[in-house]
Amino acid sequence: MEQFEIFFAKPKVQAVTISLAVFFLFFIFPLLRRKVGKKLAIKQKKTYDRISKEILFQTCLLFVGVVVYSLVAMIRSDSSFVSGDALPFVSFLGALAAFWNLRKAVIAIREANSQTNEHRKARLEDIYKSSLGAYTLALIAAVYGLFVILLVLFDPNAVPLWLWFVSFGMTGVTIRALGWSIASLEAAIEYANNLKLGRANPSPKNKSARTSNVQA
């Protein structure tokens, strides 16, 4: 166990891990986004591009601090404060951003739910349930981030050497919650701005019956 802690506490291991994450975020993710976007229809592609760009932008803002901390750590040859301060703050602040997005999503859902169409209400209920999943992930990230921040502030000697790896992994949960909240918000806004969206189209039988009545 001691060798395990020593291995994951090595600055080189931390630097490689964070470098791989930054490489994926700034290079691999945009390539995957463009590859998926090419397979979508024009209308779907516009929505997908808008949501994915928003997710990428908010995620990059979270990691600006980590990048700055990492550069300073390379200069100082000491990366201990990266895991001690930066990564838990990413989880905590990312969770707060997700909460804010979900709050706006719930407000938009309530506005869009003023219509009486049952099919539309069912679709909005699906968005609301999806928001609850994002809320759960954000709550986990917020509790973890706040716990580690307080632990570092009040009892830094009690922080195990391997905790930085857990903090790094928790940023994945944070990004998932943030992206999920953005997608829920965008969907809710679409329904709030378009009162016809989500309404069930009349069946051919009912449509022909109404046409016959009009002609009669």
Q: Measure Cα distances from 214 to 203, 208, 210 in Å.
A: 17, 10, 6
Is the pLDDT assigned to residue 8 strictly greater than 70? no
Residue-wise pLDDT for 119-175, tens only, equals 788 888 888 988 999 999 999 999 998 998 888 778 877 777 778 788 888 888 988
Three-state secondary structure call for residue 214: helix
What angle (nearest 5°) sits at the alpha carbon of residue 148, between those of residues 178 and 134?
A: 20
Determine the pLDDT at residue 190.
86
Is the pLDDT assigned to residue 4 strictly greater than 70? no
Q: Which residue has the tokens 């830094």?
A: 156
Confidence of residue 214 (pLDDT cuts 50, 70, 90): very low
Q: What is the dihedral of CA 61, 99, 30, 188, to 10 degrees?
A: -140
Determine the pLDDT at residue 213.
44
Is the pLDDT assigned to residue 77 strictly greater than 70? no
Determine the pLDDT at residue 152.
78
Determine the pLDDT at residue 216.
40
Task: Count other Cβ atoms within 10 Å, centred on residue 49.
Answer: 15
The fraction of the chain above a pLDDT of 90, given in percent, is 12
Residue pair 6/164 in contact (Cβ under 8 Å)? The answer is: no
Confidence of residue 61 (pLDDT cuts 50, 70, 90): confident
pLDDT mean over 102-120: 82
* Measured distance CA(132)–CA(126) in Å, rounded: 10
Determine the pLDDT at residue 2.
56
Determine the pLDDT at residue 172.
85
Determine the pLDDT at residue 139.
96
Is the pLDDT assigned to residue 99 strictly greater than 70? yes
Determine the pLDDT at residue 211.
40
- The two three-digit tokens of residue 65, written as one number: 């601090």
pLDDT mean over 13-26: 70
Q: Please tell me the least confidently modeled range out of 13-17, 56-60, 136-140, 153-157.
A: 13-17
Is the pLDDT assigned to residue 73 strictly greater than 70? no
Confidence of residue 7 (pLDDT cuts 50, 70, 90): low
Identify residue 55 by its one-letter amino acid code: I
Cα 146 off chain centre by: 18
